[in-house]
Chains A and B, each alone.
Chain A
Amino acid sequence: MNWLKQLFSRSRFYNDLSDEMQQHLEEKIEELVATGMSKKEATAAARREFGNITLIEEDSRTIWRWPSIESFFADLRYALRTLRKSAGFTITAIVTLALGIGANTAIFMLLDAIRLRSLPVQDPQELAEVRITDSGHQGMGNNQQYGELTRPLWQEIRDQQQSFSGVFAWSVNLRYLGRGSEMRHFHELRVSGDFFRVLGVLPFRGRLLMPEDEGACPMTRAVVSYPYWQSDLGGRDLSPAIKLVVDNELVEIVGVTPPGFFGMVVGQGFDIAVPFCEPKEGLRRDTFEVSVMGRLKPGGTMQRASTEMDALSAGAFEATIPPGRDTRWTETYKHFRLAAYPASTGVSSLRDYDRSLFLLLGIAGLVLLIACTNLANLMLARASARRREMAVRLALGASRSRLLRQLLTESLLLAATGAAMGIALAQSLSRLLVWSFSTEGASVTLQTVTDWRVLLFAVGVAALTCVVFGVVPALRATRAEPISAMKTGGRGTTAGRERFSLQRLLVVTQVSVSLVLLVGALLFVRSFRNLMTFDPGMRESGITEAFLGFWQSNLPRERWADFQRELLDEVRSVPGVLNAATTTNAPLLGSSWEHGIRIGSQEGNSKFTWVSPDYFETMGIPVIQGRSLTPEDTASSPRVALVNETFVRRYLSGANPIGQTLRTSPEPDYPATVYEIVGVIPDTKYNDLRSQTPPMTFAPASQFPGQGPWTVVMIHSNLNPAAVAAAAKRLIAEKHPDVLTQFSDFQREIRDGLVEERLMATLSGFFGLLAALLAVVGLYGVISYIVAMRRNEIGIRMALGASRRDVVAIIVRQTLVLLALGVGLGVVLALAAVRSASSLLFGLQPNDPLAFAAATALLVTIALVASFLPARRASRVDPMVALRYE
């Protein structure tokens, strides 16, 4: 470590050097004295010949240094000193940067957690998911969330595949834990036996599930996640005595998964993992419930795995054809193809928010840009204040690059501090973002962490900001002509136009970018408002949705329909309940139920809902033609149905629908049935506010062929939903302690579905206002600066008879020019930018004139107010005072 030694012995070296040179000089003098010169003459001559001793010493020393690094440290010390001296500027700059970088980093952290980060398992990049190409199965059979294949298909793949060193299947479900009215939800992860082994997940306690745990239902062993073990089992040691009632069966907890493991779904952890089991009645072939994944063999590629999956598709689908379907359905099914897709990042429904998040990242980036522009303006102002300092240093021989380096060190210091604080801030901001995605029904459990990607992002952003606010002012500052700078000292009557033009350009940019953001914000706010006030064609407020489950009551199947009616009657007897009805599918909350139908010679699909007679009245849906359902429509009476207007338009082309018949395609449990249309209802939204209304059919609950031991009751009441829920829950718990009851406020649930829109409206609104504020502050600063620079000119004008009003007009006119340019440019930019957001909007066009007009008006108003202040100050200039400076 030679250089290290040099570093420490350097001061001795330097002393040696000066001693040595001193000796040299003396020797020289002696010599000269020996030739007959006087001591004084000799000293002078020797010194003359020797030259600048300090300089030589310094030159000799630099040999031992790393000039770039050492001068960097000197710059750093100098920058620290300068920044400490102007604390106000420094704090403004750092806070601005910290907020800007923090907001950007927080959004990026969320994107990173949702999309970029790999699963916390062994070699996640080797994981592949096997799916049907183009998601062709969507809408066929029963589809579960994240369910891509059926269990029989999974077995085919497991037995046939060669490309993977191991394969596994999994599904996630919301199931019930405990008994009767004490039951509560838990997140179940259902896995094939090899799941944990293929993923390379090791137990934290006990053991994890293994292939021998698979078998006939019911399952008796399960493992729990670490968070669940901590929160619900209190972190107790496992023992065979700890048993949980999972889905009405006693299971033993045999192990705990490691703390970081959350399953395969990013953003939704699991509580209990249970092995696949085989029910007595066999596996369903029409329920797409599992996701199948595999680990590529060493050296294997996704491409090769895909090819292999494609090759075994025909056989696999042929072998697993669901029974009881019509030929069209079966043909479609047989022609599905399988392919392998990368699965290193798991799956997540949060990825639907991608576009919003990228948009927010863009918005936050633009806000940061505006903030940086303000900083650049401040730096420019500082630069002109330091013109003399720079001029003196240039005159003394400093090179321009050396000065540039020093000024940039200052910006770098600001940016680095801002970035460090921004990263710290982003930790809590990102948690706040995650929290804002959670709703009462579905909590998002997402760990945002500061990994290398996040750090790289923050550093990149900081570097970029540094360039934006540091480089141009630095170039500007070091371009000073020493002579003119020192001569005038910045006291001309009007300052150079050229120097303002950059600041003007910056302000115009700010105004235009903030206009874009304001327009965007107004669009999102208006879109959200449209959704909130949108009439879906049915009653939303005052409705309570109740889920009643009676699978623990041990009733025979024949009693289910009757028991459901009894429960409904009990609910209706609760004081304050105006009306109540059962339904097989609650509207507007995302779930969908469809059957294939045939009307005459036409084939098609319709949504199907089986409801009790008072459903339409409860939900405030009028029957516009024919009759509603009545208690006389019983299990034994002719099959009848109501349809909506879209159904009539699509399948009956305007003919009188009453008395027409429709026939459903056969499905297991749902034999082909002919329904007579007895009534028509107007179009209402189906499962989502945004989608077009599909054809819909409503049939009597009493004729529902697929009755299960559960029902959904929609309750209309004039009391508050919580009170109704409490009363009904108490009543049912008293009479039927085995019945599970869950109540929710229908309107609140619908609004929870608008979480993305709410987030976009709030955040874009916040960023839009912030951008406008920053731009106005920038404008104010520049106008103030211009006023200060034009003091002399204004003084002269006033001395020559200009009135205060004239002076205000001059300044305001200048503002107006800047504003007009900014707004004009902003409108053009906004028109181009909002197109990318059009699919996120509801009930308005992206070029919504109201949003554009309101944004412009808002911006212009506050900008004029902001510029009026410096203008008034200018008009108060006392000509005598202003001119005395000359």
Chain B
Amino acid sequence: MRKSEQRDLFPGALEMMILRTLKRQPLHGYALVQHIKRTSNDLLQIEEGSLYPALQRLLKEELVKAEWGISATNRRVRIYKLTVAGTRHLEREVSSFERMLEGITRVLARGES
């Protein structure tokens, strides 16, 4: 079977960023891509091919919910919102990510000295 998603970073990174972005404010798909791109200073380019499957996964796990609304550009869009479960999941993911990052950083620092 085809791999359903190309992950640039590591498993879960995209979901984590989506959740973090949505925590600040509910957004629709296009705005999400733009926001992540802008915030990361164009370092991260989210492909639509990854975004939509990821959003569906989050929807299925009920970490986000979606509603049809009107965007700033007066377009009918589907706006994603973080759920309570989503908030909790994000916290857990972020803290475990930070621990992992700390570990990696230490190993890298030791390797240098």
Contact = CB atoms under 8 A, between A and B. Distances in A.
A17 B77 CA distance: 11
B75 A60 contact: no
A200 B99 CA distance: 68
B41 interface: no
B8 interface: no
B29 A20 contact: yes
A17 B4 contact: no
Interface string B18-29: 000000000011
Contacts, number: 69
Interface stretch (B9-17, B53-61, B83-91, B101-109): B53-61
Interface of A is mostly: helix
Given A24-B29, A51-B47, A399-B1, A59 B52 contact: yes
Contact of B30 (A24, A57, A62): A24
Given A16-B78, A27-B73, A30-B73, A21 B52 contact: yes
Interface in B40-96: 47-49, 52-53, 55-57, 60, 66, 68, 71, 73, 75-78
Interface string A615-655: 00000000000000000000000000000000000000000
B98 interface: no
Contact of A56 (B28, B52, B60, B73): B52
A748 interface: no
Interface in A49-103: 49-52, 55-57, 59-64, 67
A61 B55 CA distance: 11
A63 B56 CA distance: 7
B31 to A, nearest CB: 9
Given A30-B73, A59-B4, A50 B78 contact: no
Given A27-B75, A56-B53, A59-B53, A21 B48 contact: yes
Interface string A1-35: 00000100000000011011101101110100000
A20 B32 CA distance: 13
Contacts of B2: 59, 397
A397 B78 CA distance: 34
A351 interface: no
Contacts of A453: none
A23 B1 contact: no
Contacts of A17: 52, 56
A62 B4 CA distance: 9
B57 A20 contact: no
Interface in A184-223: none
B77 A50 contact: no
A64 B48 contact: no
A704 B52 CA distance: 104
B39 to A, nearest CB: 17
Nearest to A401: B1
A382 interface: no
Contact of A63 (B47, B53, B78): B53
Interface size classification for chain B: 20 to 34
A873 interface: no
B76 A23 contact: yes
A63 B68 CA distance: 21
Contacts of B57: 63
A707 B15 CA distance: 102
A402 interface: yes
A50 B28 CA distance: 16
A55 B49 contact: yes
A51 B66 CA distance: 23
A28 B73 CA distance: 12
A68 to B, nearest CB: 11
Contacts of B71: 27
B32 to A, nearest CB: 10
A24 B56 contact: no
A402 B1 contact: yes
Contacts of B4: 59, 62-63
Nearest to A55: B49
Nearest to B60: A63
A9 to B, nearest CB: 12
Contacts of B53: 56, 59-60, 62-63
Given A20-B78, A59-B5, A63-B56, A27 B49 contact: no
A661 B76 CA distance: 122
A21 B49 CA distance: 11
A28 B1 contact: no
A373 to B, nearest CB: 34
B49 A56 contact: yes
Interface string A399-413: 100100000000000
Contacts of B49: 50-52, 55-56, 59
Contacts of A23: 28, 30, 75-78
Contacts of A63: 4, 53, 56-57, 60
A49 B5 CA distance: 16
Contact of B77 (A20, A56, A397): A20
Contacts of A16: 66, 68, 78
Contacts of B77: 20, 23, 27
Contacts of B28: 20, 23
A59 B77 CA distance: 21
Contacts of A60: 52-53, 55-56
A558 to B, nearest CB: 99
B15 to A, nearest CB: 12
B45 to A, nearest CB: 9
A397 B28 CA distance: 34
A22 to B, nearest CB: 10
A159 B52 CA distance: 83
Given A23-B76, A23-B77, A402-B1, A64 B60 contact: yes
Given A21-B52, A56-B48, A28 B30 contact: yes
A45 B42 CA distance: 18
A61 B71 CA distance: 25
Interface in A723-782: none
Interface of B: 1-2, 4-5, 28-30, 47-49, 52-53, 55-57, 60, 66, 68, 71, 73, 75-78
9 contacts: A20-B78, A27-B71, A27-B75, A56-B52, A56-B53, A57-B52, A60-B55, A63-B53, A399-B1
Complex A-B, nearest 4 residue pairs according to Cβ-Cβ distance, in ascending order:
A63-B56, A60-B56, A27-B30, A60-B52
Interface of A: 6, 16-17, 19-21, 23-24, 26-28, 30, 49-52, 55-57, 59-64, 67, 397, 399, 402
Given A27-B77, A59-B2, 4 more contacts: A17-B56, A23-B28, A24-B48, A51-B49
